[in-house]
Structure 1
Amino acid sequence: MEILELIHKQAPITGEQIAEQLGVSRPTIRSDLSLLVMLGHINAKPKVGYFPNQSFREEQAGGLKLKVKQVQSMPVIVRKTATVGDAVVALFVDNVGGLVVADEEGMLLGVISPKDLLKVTLGNPAAASMPVSLVMTRKPQLVTVTPDDDVIEAARKMAENQVDMLPVVVPHENGSDTPSLEVVGRISKTTMTKVLLDAARKW
């Protein structure tokens, strides 16, 4: 990661200096910097800047080297013909941070978050009978990971996009410019918390 390289070479370095050298705005890298601090790769001091965490031993942080396929869970899938009422029940029965909408072949169509359901149900008594296809987030706004992605990449995507769950997908060529995405799992903030706790115990 370019941010880590800059910090290792020029520490201490401020967030503004990092952003300037990368040619981006400070808010653009805020989530990346927060994640690197949280994971122990770097430290930060007010009025000083960011610098490497010399006590962090990456070889002992086995959890951070994991692939998504090693920690992913089974997805909770609903069909696009399911109703908002069905989705609310599935969300709470399975106690998950999001639902995956897929077709009969298991190809990804969309994702439904608790916020999506809250927006449509508040003050709308007819919402329960609406099809989920009207409220789900669709491509290209969907954020996904593959089984071979690093867990750290999944964490970065969650932080940047402020989502609680990511579908784990395998692309399949279908003759069009956009491949179909087969849903094979999910990874959640709960999963990430467990990975970080396991890694912390090894430090």
Structure 2
Amino acid sequence: MIEFTKRQQEIIEILKKHEPITAEQIAEMLGVSKGTIRSDLAVLVMTGNIEAKPKVGYFLGKKSLNHMERSEWWHKTPVKEIQSVAVTIDASTTVNDAVISLFLEDVGTLVVVNEDNFLSGIVSRKDLLKVTLGNAQAASMPIQLVMTKKPKVYTVEPDDSVYEAARKLIYYQIDSLPVVKKVNENPHSLKVVGRITKTNIVKSLIEVESEA
């Protein structure tokens, strides 16, 4: 059996009896708000256990893998098996150069590191857009004035499960997570070894489905 939360199991049972059904109707049956079940629905869709159609609602997904196979992949595959290379810059990089890096590398987020490749912060397209709109001086600003600094950056480690990475991406409503290693078990010394994105996860799920 897939290791769903109690609420996710309840959502599947509701769909078995009432599909197709909207998120609002599911939330009403559970006695919670639509926002409360947003991450549950996203996990169930990403794992292929339910599907969604615009203006129709949610219904049970068609799975080419049985429940046990899918559960083993989702919960036992470590992040390091599907992660990609992190696109990094240093804290002195200007906003202008950071914007160029975003477009040249075709990514949504840049990881800010020091000279030893330890995590300093993270900067997204949204961060850069906020600082540049209506600010003629922004282009020459160092990225350290714009970035989200390390204490507030969400990360995963190479041996964390893909499920844990997906949960963080959905819960915190972000597109990517730096993959980091603690050096000498020091929680403040995080060496950047990669990144994992929603695209990484979806592509890997598709590959698993096609091999079934």
- Following TM superposition, by how much is the alpha carbon of 1:29 offset from its aligned partner in structure 2, in angstroms? 3.3
Please list, as runs of the form range in 1=range in 2, the aligned pairs for 1:136-151 lying within 5 A after superposition.
Answer: 136-151=147-162
Give the corresponding residue for 2:180.
169
Identity %: 47
Please list, as runs of the form range in 1=range in 2, the aligned pairs for 1:22-171 lying within 5 A after superposition.
Answer: 27-42=35-50, 57-61=66-70, 64=74, 65-171=76-182
- Distance in 2 separating the partners of 1:96 and 1:160: 21
The alignment status of 1:195 with 2:204, answered yes or no, reads: yes
Q: Which amino acid aligns with 2:10?
A: I
What is the aligned residue count?
192
- Following TM superposition, by how much is the alpha carbon of 1:192 offset from its aligned partner in structure 2, in angstroms? 1.8
Aligned residues of 1:97 and 1:188 also touching (Cα < 8 A): no
Residue 11 of structure 1 aligns to a residue whose secondary structure is helix
Give the corresponding residue for 1:2.
5
Say what the alpha-carbon RMSD is for the aligned residues. Answer: 3.0
Relative distance call for 1:90 and 1:156 in structure 2 (3 A) is: same
Aligned residues of 1:100 and 1:167 also touching (Cα < 8 A): yes
In the superposition, the TM-score normalised over structure 1's length comes to 0.79
Q: Which amino acid aligns with 2:99?
A: V
- Distance in 2 separating the partners of 1:117 and 1:152: 29
Give the corresponding residue for 1:179.
188
Higher RCO structure, 1 or 2 (CA under 8 Å, sep 6+): 1
Runs of 4 or more above 6 Å deviation:
50-54
Residue 191 of structure 1 aligns to a residue whose secondary structure is helix
Unaligned runs of 5+ in 1: 45-49
- Distance in 2 separating the partners of 1:76 and 1:185: 8
- Following TM superposition, by how much is the alpha carbon of 1:121 offset from its aligned partner in structure 2, in angstroms? 1.1
Unaligned runs of 5+ in 2: 16-25, 53-57
